[in-house]
Amino acid sequence: MADFEAVSHLYADIWGSEPGSTPISAEVIKALSHAGNYVAGAYEGDRLTGASVAFFGDPVGSCLHSHITGAVMGRGAGLALKLHQRQWALERGLQRITWTYDPLIRRNAYFNLVKLGARPEEYLTSFYGEMDDAINGGDESDRVLAVWELTEPAPPAAELPPGTAHALRDHGGLPEPLATDAETVLIDLPDDIESLRRTDPAAARAWRLAVRETLGDLLAEGAEVTGFHERRRYVVRRPRPDRQP
């Protein structure tokens, strides 16, 4: 239990949770581990620097859902955990790992799409309801579902085809939606949404709604996120009419 409590405390520190609160309790982590799900920690010497908790998902027998992964920044623990999680899943015959992340956080989008090769497949509005930790407080908990196909080759880096246009761009720190019928579109993200929530809540709210209405609507229409350009914008390809069933 001491190990699971250390994981719970690490998460509380990373997310800036209120005293006595944590994203997931040691008791739940213990139960998931005992039932055969994935619970792993990354250490530097005796110091816990990251941890990940995942459970089996749907389709049963082929998917692992990674519920929470947190790591001290700048130590490489997050990547080490995801690669370990991938190997763990493959050894059990699983084909994909899924997880949710805030689509507004640029470093997470870059990590998921570029470093790992996962792809967003679904936009989930206010997925966790109201949250009061230091990272999410003051904003709605929109998420995208990322899917990491473990048995397929990593997708190539997205190249911008001729005619690519912005559907949402950063204009002086605020989102500016642009009308375009381009097949491939770009969706900018703010420089630092977490700081913006504290310094300019109205601007953070504007970004949340703008990305929801552009990225969310495109994914609902069957569009495909093909990459993350210059560490700051999604590359999205609309479905072509001749590809429709």
Does the model's pTM come out above 0.85?
A: yes
Query: Are residues 129 and 191 both part of a single domain?
Result: no
- The answer to whether residue 35 is domain-embedded is yes
Domain match, 127 and 8 both? yes
Residue 242: which H helix or E strand, with range? none
Q: What residues make up the domain containing 231?
A: 165-243
The amino acid that residue 42 corresponds to is: A
184 with 108, same domain? no
pLDDT at 135: 64
How does pLDDT run along the chain (245 residues), one tens digit per residue? Answer: 999 999 999 999 998 887 678 899 999 999 999 999 999 999 999 999 999 999 999 998 999 999 999 999 888 999 999 999 999 999 999 999 999 999 999 999 999 999 999 999 999 999 888 766 556 666 788 999 999 999 998 888 778 999 999 999 999 999 999 999 999 999 999 999 999 999 999 999 999 999 999 999 999 999 999 999 999 999 999 997 765 54
**Assigned domain for 155 exists:** no
What confidence score (pLDDT) does residue 245 get? 47
DSSP codes, 61-130: TTEEEEEEEEE-TTSSHHHHHHHHHHHHHHHTT--EEEEEE-TT-HHHHHIIIIII--EEEEEETTTT--
Residue 157 lies inside a defined structural domain of this protein: no
Indicate the SS3 state at residue 196. Answer: helix
Residue 199, token pair as written in the block: 């310094």
Half-sphere exposure of 177 (CA within 13 A, CB side): 13
pLDDT score recorded for residue 16: 87
What pLDDT score was predicted for residue 162? 95
Domain count, the chain: 2
* Same domain membership, residue 136 and residue 28: yes
Same domain assignment for residues 82 and 170: no
Residues 139 and 238 in one domain: no
**Complete edge-to-edge strand list for the sheet that includes strand 184-188:** 174-177, 165-171, 184-188, 233-237, 224-229
Let me know whether 194 and 140 are in one domain. Answer: no
